[in-house]
Structure formats: structure tokens, C-alpha cells
A and B are shown apart, each in its own frame.
Chain A
Amino acid sequence: MPEPILSLNALDAHYGDFQALYGVDMALDDGEVIAIIGANGAGKTTLLRSVSGLMSNAADQIRYRGQPIGMLRADEVAALGIALVPEGRQLFPSLSVEENLLIGGRLKRPGPWNLRSVFELFPVLEERRAYPSTALSGGQQQMVAIGRALMSNPDLILFDEISLGLAPVIIKSIYDALPGIVGEGMSAVIVEQDISKALSVSDRVYCLMEGRVTLEGASNSVSRDAISHAYFGID
């Protein structure tokens, strides 16, 4: 059996005295897409912050291609080929659309993604390339945030609530673009509140509740009842 690209081994995470994750185990194979669902405060964002290096953890609780990375800083994690599309887009307001994308590409890892291929994926961004990133609509900003993460040609991409606060038609167009992104052999972790969206784009799904994994299974076979039980903790 090939080594997983990412594995979490009894991952704990703390904000001061508050513990947000309790012994989370998770594994992601090369090229696989997993979805993480769960209510607000379940620890989904904390999990992505831990993997991307924005939160420091015990070294061997997070392994990337077998290598312990839990203690690495975010810039070191990024250099290994892990990119995060953060919740709320978090573009750089003093940078133009094009500059936001270019700064995502400053690691210069080899791969299919560059300014041209991002503009092909999201043509509207090419028209607005010189705009300040704050002048775009929410959906366009989300496209910049995704493009910025792709520019580093990551092997593993983490999406945090990419549909949050966007109109349904925009969400659909962004999710329609996802297969073109992960189809290149990239592995992905998708954190999503919209359960049916999450199940439709992923191979496997994990459900978190209060910092613990309450459900794991293939996305096309988990039952609605099992999900609502794992999601809310009630039958």
C-alpha cells in the first residue's frame, strides 16, 4: 500500500487553555480528495491551520509524505507543496489582482499552474488583473484566492469554506472549476458547510464534532442518517 501524502496521528490542537482538536486521525492518499464537514466550532478550520503551519503542533502528529511537519512554520510548509485557500479569502488589499497571484507563485515550484493557466481557468480575472483586489466581488475574490494557492503548484491544496458568503450561482461556477483543478493529480482537503456539495466533489468524507472525528467513509456510500448523527450527535 502506498504511503499517504498526508497523515494526522492523534492530532491535538490548543488555543491557550482551550483544546480545539482531540486525537484526530486522518489519512489522505496521493491524488485523493477528502471533504471535512462539521458544525461551526467543530475544529475544521483549526485542522487546516495546523496542517498549513499557521498553528504549531507536535512534530510527528502531522506527516507529509512520511516526513514530520507538525512543528514547521507556514512558509516552510508552503515550500514543501501544501497550499491553503483560507476562509474569508484573505487577499492582500494593497496588492492588485495580478500581484496577489504573482505572490502566490513566488515559490516557483514546477507544474502546470502559472498566470496564463489561472487566467484560462477564471477568465474574468484577466480582465480585472490591474484592479485592487478589494474592488472585486466576493466570488471574484474567491477565484483570486484559489488562483493564488494554485500558483505555487502545490501537491496538496486545502480549501477552507470556499462557498461561504457567496451567491449560489457563484458557488456552482467555482465548484464546476474544481475537477479541472484536482484532476491534475493534486490531492485536496475541502472543508465545507454545504454537505451535499462536499460529498459530490470528494472521494471520502470525515465529519468532525467538538474536535473529534465522528464519521469517516466513502462519499458515495455514507447515509444521510449517519451524517446527521455524526454532525449533530443526535439520532
Chain B
Amino acid sequence: MDWVNAIVQGTLLGGLYALFAAGLSLIFGVMRLVNIAHGDLIVLAAYLGLTVVVTTGLHPLLALIIVIPVMAAIGYALQRGILNQTLGDDILPPLLVTFGLSVILQNVFLEGYTADPQKMDAGAIETASISLGGLSLGILPLLTFAIAVGVIAGLQFIFYRTPLGRSFRAVSDNQDIAQLMGLNKRHIFGLAMALALAVTAIAGILLGIRTSFDPTAGGARLIYGFEAVIIGGLGNLWGTLVGGVILGVAQTIGAKIDPGWQLLAGHIAFLFVLAVRPNGLFPRVSG
């Protein structure tokens, strides 16, 4: 039963990792941009949530009403103001610029919020749980997983059922020809980054409720996100959810064997998938 419990808890944890990863997957899919600052942007959302909670007294989950649009606006401005200028045939400039952004963000957090770990208080929901066939499932992890599934389904709907998603796919396929259709790729990229950071806002708030965070917490979130994306296969959103779940389950099983093995087991699972299926489990079919 302990093992079943570990797998179930790991699956629910995977929902959070999928949320970390969804934004990364989306922006890589649309504009081939690898965002090294993604983890720090998750932490930025957590700090913004903390600020909203402290100043307004709102429940952290209600703070999303403010944090989501703010992060989306930051995303659009960041893309139009800085990142679009780095995109081109060379893949190095966006890597360097987002790495620099990561360093800047961490230092801004340090100046603004000190190095002390912070946490958002979500009240009773944090400890509430339900019993199901001998397993005790936390309400918060269940909610997180449900939100992750909802977010991925929502992104999937936007991508494949709306004119905006059509524009995303067209620009991803062929930027020049998409421009001929009257699409301004700079604007489309801005919208993609806005959408990615809206998802990041959700990930950041849930992170800040689940665990404490500090200015350097972004690096590990970036790694988890990367691993989930790569395991699932680049550009496949449902694959990203599966990737997050595999990573989460590997971590909880590792922790079950030996508490010190939690992170290592996740990385080993990632390396194993990379060795066996270098393109991930469900790579997007190339056209």
C-alpha cells in the first residue's frame, strides 16, 4: 500500500511539474526559444502572489485574478521589448539573454524580498485531505493536478480550435509565409509569451502555497520543467503532462527507497528516457 501511495502522490506532484513545463513547451513550440529564465519567472509569480496576499489580504488562489493578467502583460512586454530582438537563425542569443534575465531576476528578488524563505498561507486547504480506499489524498495536490489537466486541455483547445492557435501553428511552421498572411510574427510571439506567463502565474502561486521559496528557487523549477518537457516529447502538451507525472512518480518512489534519493531518482528517470527515446515519449510528428 505504501508503494501505491507513493505512485499516487507522485502522480499528483507531476501535475505541478507539468504546470512548470507547459509554458516552456509552449514558447519552444511557437518560436523555438529556450527560456533559461522560466524558473525565475515562476518564482516571480510566487513573489507577486505573496505581495498581493500581504497587501490585500486575499486568499492566495484568489490572488490569481491579479497575478495572471500582470504576468501576461509582463510576458508580452518582455517578448516585444527584448526577446524578439534575440530571435534569428542563431540559437545562442536567446539563451544568453534569458540567462542574463535569470541572474537579474534573482538579484531583484534578493533586493526586494531578502534571502529569507517565504510562503503563502492558504489556510485549511493546505492540510485538508480525503480518504480513498486506504489512501489519504491531500486536497491541495488533487486541486493542483486538476488545474494542470485543465490548463493543458485549455492550451490544447486554444492551439487546435481557435484562430489564435492557428496563427501560433502557422508562425511555428514557417515565419515568412505566415507574414504573407498578414500575421505580424512579433505580435504573435508576444501573445505566445503572454499565454506562457499566464500559465506560469498559476504554477508560481501553487508552488508558493505548496512549499516555501526563496530568490534562488527558480533553478530547480527550470530543471523539473525541462525534464518534463523532454520526457514527454518537445511540442506535445499532453506529453508534457505525462512527462511531469513520470518525473513526479520517480521522485516519490526514490524518496520511498531512501529520502536522499528523491531528486536523484527523478534525474535518473529523465536520463533513462533520454537514452532510450532521445526525442521523448511522444514527439510531435514533424511535417
Contacts and interface: CB of A to CB of B under 8 A. Distances in A.
Whether A associates with B in a native complex is: yes
B85 interface: no
Contacts of B163: 102, 106
A92 B185 CA distance: 15
A74 B166 contact: no
A139 interface: no
Contact of A103 (B176, B181, B184): B181
A79 interface: yes
Interface size class of B (residues with CB under 8 A): 10 to 19
Nearest to B286: A93
A92 B180 CA distance: 12
B174 interface: yes
A83 B179 CA distance: 11
Contacts of A103: 166-167, 170, 178, 181, 183
B177 interface: yes
A134 B174 CA distance: 14
Contacts of A75: 179-185
Interface in A48-106: 52-54, 73-75, 78-79, 83-84, 86, 90, 92-95, 99, 102-104, 106
B179 A95 contact: no
A155 to B, nearest CB: 14
Interface string B78-102: 0000000000000000000000000
A189 to B, nearest CB: 15
**Interface residues of B: mostly helix, strand, loop or mixed?**
helix
Given A102-B163, A103-B170, A73 B177 contact: no
B176 A54 contact: yes
Nearest to B173: A92
Contacts of B118: none
Interface string B51-64: 00000000000000
Interface string B156-175: 00000001001101101110
Q: Which of B169, B178, B179 has the most A CB atoms < 10 Å from its CB?
A: B179
A63 B183 CA distance: 22
Contact of B180 (A83, A99, A102, A134): A83
B287 interface: yes
Given A95-B169, A99-B166, A103-B167, A74 B180 contact: yes
Contacts of A79: 182
Q: Which of B163, B180, B183, B184 has the most A CB atoms < 10 Å from its CB?
A: B180
A78 B173 contact: no
B179 A94 contact: no
Contacts of B183: 75, 103, 106
Contact of B172 (A54, A83, A90, A94): A94
12 contacts: A52-B180, A53-B180, A74-B176, A74-B180, A75-B183, A92-B169, A94-B173, A103-B167, A103-B183, A104-B181, A107-B182, A134-B287
Interface of A: 52-54, 73-75, 78-79, 83-84, 86, 90, 92-95, 99, 102-104, 106-107, 132, 134, 148, 152
